[in-house]
Amino acid sequence: MKRYIDEQGKLFGIINPVDLIVILVVLALGIKVLSDYRPLPLQNEKHPVRLGVVVRNVPSYFAESLAVGQDVFECRTHAYLGKIKAVSTQPAEVVLTEGGKMVLAKSPIHQDVRLELSRDAEILTSDAKYGVYFGKRIVRVGETIDAYTLYTRICGEVEYLRKMP
Q: Is the pTM of this model over 0.75?
A: no
Which of the four pLDDT bands, split at 50, 70 and 90, describes residue 164?
A: confident
Please state, in angstroms and rounded to a whole number, the distance separating the CA atoms of residues 154 and 53: 9
Instruction: Compute the average pLDDT of residues 122-148.
Output: 83
Domain boundaries, the chain: 1-38, 43-163
Digit-coded pLDDT (tens) for 102-131: 988 888 889 999 999 999 988 877 666 678
Report whether 152 contacts 62 (CB < 8 A): yes
164 burial via Cβ count (<10 Å: 0-12, 13-18, 19+): exposed
Residues 6+ apart with CB under 8 A from 115: 52, 53, 54, 55, 66, 72, 84, 86, 87, 154, 156
